[in-house]
Amino acid sequence: MRFTAILAAALLTIAGVAQAQNYGNQPYQPMQNQAQMSGEMGGCGHTVSITDEYGFRYDNMGNRLNARGCVIAPPVTPDGARAIQNGR
């Protein structure tokens, strides 16, 4: 019982020292997801400024962007189509 306690303490100490090692003088930089890294211009020249909770991307003018950074046109109901009417 005493041997296993000493062995466990030694293993925990070694694991702690191994985790605390410094790998050069590089400062810590957290991983960034693709939306944060793609702050540069997209394929169509629009910059992603915000991503909503559903993952849709928007530029600084509120236009919704596709994966390449191009503006997605808003939905349009064609002439003659029946519109949905609530409450009737």
The answer, as to whether pTM is greater than 0.85, is no
Average pLDDT of every residue of the chain: 76
8 Å CB contact between 47 and 37: no
> For residue range 5-34, what is the model confidence (pLDDT) as tens digits?
888 888 778 776 666 665 555 555 555 555
Mean pLDDT across 49-55:
92
pLDDT for the residue numbered 38: 47
Helix (H) or strand (E) holding 50: strand 50-51
Helix (H) or strand (E) holding 14: helix 2-19
Q: Where are the domains of the chain?
A: 34-75
